[in-house]
Chains A and B, each alone.
Chain A
Amino acid sequence: MKRPWYNFIYVRSPIAKILLGGAALLLTLALFGFTFIIEEPRMEAQTNSWTGRSIEKGAEIFANNCTSCHGVDGKGLPGVAPALHSHYFFTQRLTDLGYAGSLHDYVAGTVAAGRPSKAISQWAQIMPTWGVNYGGPLRNDQVQDVTAFVMNWEQDALQQTAEEDPWQPFQDAKTTDISGTMALPPSAPADGEARAPQDLFTVMGCQGCHNLEQDQTADNRGAIAPNLGNLDTEAGNMVAGQDALTYVINSITHPNDFIVEGYAAGIMPQNFPDRMSAEEIANLAQWLLDQAAAN
C-alpha cells in the first residue's frame, strides 16, 4: 500500500506507545504534585482575595449609601450621624454598650436592621434599615460587604490620637471617660485659604439635614430641616429687614435667631462660626443661593 505523506505521525512500535503513555502519566502525576504543593498558599491567597473583593464591593456601597450621613471618610457628620472611622468606635463602643457579640456582628446587625428612632435623639437623622430581611434595599451579601469595609478602618482608626478621634459621644450610652476625645469638628484651616463651598456643604454635614435639590413647599417639606432648593426666592422674605444673603449668613451663624416654622430650635448646630471663617460662610451662603437659583 502507498504510504501517505503524514505517515510519520503513526506510532507503530508498542514500546514507543508504552513509553509515550508512561511519559504522559508521569507528567500528569508531576502536575498533580505541583498543584498539591501549592494548594496551601493558593487557598490562602484566594481567601484573602475574596475578602479583598468584598471590601471593594463594600466601599462602593458605602460611597453610594452611607456617606451622606456618616461622611465621605466615615468620620461622621456633627449632629447628623456618629463616626465609624474612629478609635473609640473600635475600642470602647461595645464595652460602653454592654454588647456581648463581636464588633463585626454589631456593625452587620445595625446595618441590616437599622436603629429605631428614639423619641429624642441627639442625631438629626435616623439610621435606616438596610438589610433585605428587614425590608431594606441591600441583599445579605451586600450587608456583609459593607460591614467588611467598615471593619477595614480598624488599622487606621487604632492609630488615631485622642485629638484626631472624630467620635461624638452618644448621649444614651454610658461613656467611658475619653476626655479630650470629644467631637472636634473640622475647624478653619490654619493657612487661612478658604475651602470650596461645595466641600463645606458635605464636610460640615449640611447635606445630612438639608436637601439642596428639592424645593421647600407646603406639601414638600424637608423631614429634618427645610429643603433649600428655592432658597433664592424665599430667603429675602423670611425676616423683615434682611436681604437674602444676610438672612442665609445669619441662619448659619445664628440658627436660633429665627426658627423656620414647623422646625425645632437647637437642631441645627450653633458652632459653625467657630468652624468656618467669615469669608467661608459668606461664600457658602452665596453658593447656596446660586445653586438654588440654578435649579
Chain B
Amino acid sequence: MAVQPEVEKKGFMSSVLGLVDDTFTRVTAGISPGEVRRMLRGEAPGRPNPRLKPHTEAFLLHIKPTYYHESVTRFTHTFRLGLLSTYLFLFETITGLILMVWYTPSPNQAYVDMIRLLSNVPFGQFMRDLHRIGAELMVAIVTLHMVRTYLTGSYKAPRQFTWFTGVILLVLTLFLSFSGYLLPWDQLAYWAVTIGTSMAEAVPPAIVGETVNLLARGAPDIGANGLLRFYLLHVLFLPLILFLFFFVHYYKVVHFGISLPANEEEVGQDTANRIPADRRVYFLPDVLMDETVFIIGFSAIMVLAVAFFFSAPLESIANPQSTPLHTVAPWYFYWLQGMLKIADKMIAGVILPGILLVLLIAIPYLDRNPSRRAKDRRVAIISGVIAGVVMIILSWMGTPQYAVSAAPAVEVVQELMPEEGAGAIREAGYAHVPVGVFDSRVPVEEQTTDEEWRAIVEEFSASIAHFDGIDPEFNNAWGTITVTQDQPSLRRILWEIHWVDSEGVEENFKRFFFLHEDSLYWEQYGLKDFRWLTETQEGE
C-alpha cells in the first residue's frame, strides 16, 4: 500500500488535511484553502498570483477577464444589466426545461397540461410564474441594457459589431417571448399570436407575406402545426441561436474591454484595455463576489414577486371561432398595437418596425461623433429621449383604455365582467355576489349590505351614467344585474341594459355569465389572493 508509508512519515491528521487541501485546490481549479482565507481577509494575492489560475484552468471562467478597470466595476456604470440579461437567459432555460416535462405541444393537450401543471404538480404554478416573470423581466432588462450602452456611447468604434450582435440578441429575445406566449394555448395566447403573425402576412409582395405567414403558422390559421412550430422555435431553435450570438457578443465585450466612463479617457481614444496596475480589480475574488451577491439578491426579488405579487394568467382554451373583445398583446408589444391602431398593417406592422430595426443597427454608423461624453452628444441623447417618449406614447395607445371601440352597453359589462380574464365581479367571488335583482336606478344601500357587492353595483351605475353622458346614442340609460341560483354553487349573472338612441328608439342589451363557488380568477399583477388558504381549512 502506498498510503501507509505516507501516513507513517507525516502522521494521520496532517496527511488527511493534506488530502483535503489537495482536493479543494483541484475543485477550485487552482485556489488553495489558504488563498481563500487570504481572499476573505482582503489580503493581496501571493506572487505569482494564484488567483489567475482558474481563468486558464476552468472552462467556465476562461471567458471572463482576469481583472477589470476599477471604474467599470462600479454599479452605476453598467448597472450590471448585461450580466442580468445573461442570468435571466440561463434562468429561463432552466425553468423552461422544467416546464417542458409537463408540456405537450398539441392543441388537444397543451391547455389541459397547463391546468394539470397548475393544479397537480407541486411547485408547478411557481415554476410557471417564475418562467413568465423571468421572460417579462428579460425583455425589460435587455432593453434597459441597450439604453445604457446607448447613453454611454458604447456602440462607437471599436464596438460597432458588439452593438450589432446586441440588436440581434434583442430581436431574438422578443421572438422568444412571442413564441412562448402561444404555448399555454388559451384565448389570450391564441389571439395575441394570431394578430402578431397576421402582420407577417402584410409583407409585400403578397406572395412573400402569405408564404411567411404559412411557414410560421403551418396552415392558414394557427393550429396543431403552428403550435408545434412555435414550440420548436421556442425551446430549441431560438435559444440555440441566442446562445451563439451571446458568445459572439460577449467575446467582443471581453476583447475590447468594457468601455470606460467617457470622462476618464481622451475623446477619440479607447483605453479600456490598458488598465494601470493600481486601478485593477481582479475577478477573483472581488468581481465574483459582487456578481454573486447581486444575482442572489435579484433572484430573491423575483421569488418574492412570484410568491406574492405575480401570477401568470390562464384564460379559456383557445377558440378559433370566437375572438374575445379587446384582445391584448403582452405589454412589451403595446407600442406595435398602438401603431396598428393608427396605421394599416403593412405600414405599422412591417415597414415601420423594419425601418426601426435598420436604424438601430445603423446607429454606430450614423453617429460619426467621436466623443462619448454626454455634453458633446446633445443631438444623440435628445433623439434617444424623443424615441423613448414616442415608444411610451405608442404603448399607451396600444392599451384598451385608448379608443374604446365597442358599444357602451357592451363596454359597461366588459368592464365588470369581461368575456375573458378576471374583472371586478369574478375577483370578488361567488360569496360576494348575492342572489337578487339590482337596479342602477335605486340607491345601492337599499339593495345590499355586502360591501364588495355594493361597490360593484355602484360602479355599474356610475359606468352607465358615464357613457350616458358622453355618447349621444346612449340616453336615459339604466340597467339591472339579476343574480339567480341556477345550480347548487352556481349562480347566473344576467346583465340587462336599456337605453334610448338618438332617434328615440328604445334599445336593450342582455348578456349572462355564470360564476361557480370554487372558481378562482386572478389578475396577472397585484397582491395575490390567499382566500382559499383559510377557506379550505375552515371547510375541513
Contact, CB under 8 Å: A43 / B122: yes
Bound together, the chains give a CA A6 to CA B76 distance in angstroms of: 9
A43's partner among B40, B120, B537 (CB-CB below 8 A) is B120
Contact, CB under 8 Å: A31 / B516: no
A39 nearest CB neighbor, chain B only: B122
Contact, CB under 8 Å: A140 / B108: yes
Produce 1/0 per residue, B307-320, CB < 8 A to A. Answer: 10000000011000
Contact, CB under 8 Å: B514 / A20: no
Contacts of A17 in B (CB 8 A): 289-290, 293
CB-CB contacts below 8 Å: A163-213 with B: none
Contact, CB under 8 Å: A56 / B520: no
Bound together, the chains give a CA A45 to CA B290 distance in angstroms of: 41
CB-CB contacts below 8 Å: A30-77 with B: 31-32, 34-36, 38-39, 41-53, 55-57, 59-60, 63, 73
Contact, CB under 8 Å: B486 / A49: no
Contact, CB under 8 Å: A156 / B293: no
At the interface, is chain B mostly helix, strand, loop or mixed? helix
Bound together, the chains give a CA A152 to CA B348 distance in angstroms of: 49
Contacts of A152 in B (CB 8 A): 487-490
Known contacts A41-B533, A156-B488: A49-B518 contact under CB 8 Å: yes
A14's partner among B40, B296, B512 (CB-CB below 8 A) is B40
| Whole-angstrom distance between the Cβ of A81 and the nearest chain B Cβ | 19
Q: Does A149 contact B (CB under 8 A)?
A: yes
Bound together, the chains give a CA A50 to CA B537 distance in angstroms of: 19
| Whole-angstrom distance between the Cβ of B390 and the nearest chain A Cβ | 29
Contact, CB under 8 Å: B76 / A9: yes
Contact, CB under 8 Å: A28 / B536: no
Contacts of A48 in B (CB 8 A): 518
B532's partner among A24, A31, A41, A55 (CB-CB below 8 A) is A41
Contact, CB under 8 Å: B518 / A35: no
B488 nearest CB neighbor, chain A only: A155
Contacts of A73 in B (CB 8 A): 486
Bound together, the chains give a CA A73 to CA B485 distance in angstroms of: 11
Produce 1/0 per residue, A1-24, CB < 8 A to B. Answer: 000101001100010011011001
**Residue from B123, B292, B519 having most chain A Cβ neighbours under 10 A:** B519
**Residue from A4, A36, A53, A155 having most chain B Cβ neighbours under 10 A:** A53
CB-CB contacts below 8 Å: B261-318 with A: 285, 289-290, 292-293, 296-297, 299-300, 303-304, 307, 316-317
Contacts of A14 in B (CB 8 A): 40, 42, 285, 289
Bound together, the chains give a CA A4 to CA B75 distance in angstroms of: 12
Contacts of B125 in A (CB 8 A): 42, 46
Contacts of A53 in B (CB 8 A): 316, 516, 519
Contacts of A50 in B (CB 8 A): 115, 118-119, 519
Contact, CB under 8 Å: A34 / B307: yes
| Whole-angstrom distance between the Cβ of B121 and the nearest chain A Cβ | 8
A137 nearest CB neighbor, chain B only: B321
Contact, CB under 8 Å: A28 / B300: yes
A57's partner among B299, B316, B518 (CB-CB below 8 A) is B316
Known contacts A9-B76, A35-B307: A41-B490 contact under CB 8 Å: no
Contact, CB under 8 Å: B303 / A31: yes
Produce 1/0 per residue, B104-132, CB < 8 A to A. Answer: 00001001100100111111111000000
Q: Does A105 contact B (CB under 8 A)?
A: no
| Whole-angstrom distance between the Cβ of A291 and the nearest chain B Cβ | 18
| Total number of residue pairs linking A and B with CB closer than 8 Å | 130
Contact, CB under 8 Å: B519 / A59: no
Contact, CB under 8 Å: B303 / A28: yes
Bound together, the chains give a CA A53 to CA B519 distance in angstroms of: 6
Contact, CB under 8 Å: A38 / B74: no
Known contacts A38-B533, A41-B536, A43-B122: A156-B487 contact under CB 8 Å: yes
Contacts of B513 in A (CB 8 A): 56, 60
Contact, CB under 8 Å: B517 / A59: no
Contact, CB under 8 Å: A55 / B307: no
Known contacts A21-B297, A56-B490, A59-B492: A9-B75 contact under CB 8 Å: yes
Q: Does B515 contact A (CB under 8 A)?
A: yes
CB-CB contacts below 8 Å: B483-531 with A: 486-490, 492, 512-520, 530
B126 nearest CB neighbor, chain A only: A35
| Whole-angstrom distance between the Cβ of B47 and the nearest chain A Cβ | 22
Bound together, the chains give a CA A63 to CA B486 distance in angstroms of: 11
Known contacts A20-B293, A31-B307, A56-B514: A25-B520 contact under CB 8 Å: no
Contact, CB under 8 Å: B296 / A52: no
Contacts of A38 in B (CB 8 A): 530, 533
Bound together, the chains give a CA A156 to CA B518 distance in angstroms of: 17
Contact, CB under 8 Å: B307 / A24: no
Contacts of B297 in A (CB 8 A): 20-21, 24
| Whole-angstrom distance between the Cβ of B237 and the nearest chain A Cβ | 30
Contact, CB under 8 Å: A10 / B75: yes
Contacts of A265 in B (CB 8 A): none
**Residue from B292, B304, B490 having most chain A Cβ neighbours under 10 A:** B490
Contacts of A21 in B (CB 8 A): 289, 292-293, 296-297
B487's partner among A25, A39, A57, A59 (CB-CB below 8 A) is A59
Contact, CB under 8 Å: A24 / B296: yes
Contacts of A139 in B (CB 8 A): 317
**Residue from A34, A55, A156 having most chain B Cβ neighbours under 10 A:** A55
**Residue from B111, B121, B126 having most chain A Cβ neighbours under 10 A:** B126
Known contacts A9-B75, A24-B299, A51-B518: A45-B532 contact under CB 8 Å: yes
Contacts of B518 in A (CB 8 A): 45, 48-49, 51-52
| Whole-angstrom distance between the Cβ of A9 and the nearest chain B Cβ | 7
B486's partner among A20, A45, A59 (CB-CB below 8 A) is A59
CB-CB contacts below 8 Å: B120-177 with A: 120-126
| Whole-angstrom distance between the Cβ of A37 and the nearest chain B Cβ | 10
Known contacts A9-B76, A21-B293: A45-B492 contact under CB 8 Å: no
Bound together, the chains give a CA A14 to CA B289 distance in angstroms of: 8
Contacts of B317 in A (CB 8 A): 139, 141
Q: Does A27 contact B (CB under 8 A)?
A: yes
Contact, CB under 8 Å: B299 / A28: yes
Contact, CB under 8 Å: A59 / B490: yes
B517's partner among A52, A57, A149 (CB-CB below 8 A) is A52
Known: A20-B297, A139-B317. 20 other contacts (CB 8 A): A10-B75, A14-B42, A21-B289, A24-B299, A24-B300, A28-B303, A41-B533, A43-B119, A43-B124, A45-B518, A46-B520, A48-B518, A49-B520, A52-B519, A53-B516, A55-B514, A56-B514, A141-B112, A152-B488, A152-B489
A residues near B (Cβ < 8 Å) are: 4, 6, 9-10, 14, 17-18, 20-21, 24-25, 27-28, 31-32, 34-36, 38-39, 41-53, 55-57, 59-60, 63, 73, 139-141, 149, 152-153, 155-156
B residues near A (Cβ < 8 Å) are: 40, 42, 74-76, 108, 111-112, 115, 118-126, 285, 289-290, 292-293, 296-297, 299-300, 303-304, 307, 316-317, 486-490, 492, 512-520, 530, 532-533, 535-537
Would you list 20 pairs from A and B whose C-beta atoms are within 8 A, ordered by A residue? A10-B75, A14-B40, A21-B289, A24-B296, A28-B296, A28-B303, A31-B304, A35-B126, A42-B532, A43-B119, A45-B532, A49-B520, A50-B115, A50-B519, A56-B513, A57-B316, A60-B514, A149-B490, A152-B488, A156-B487
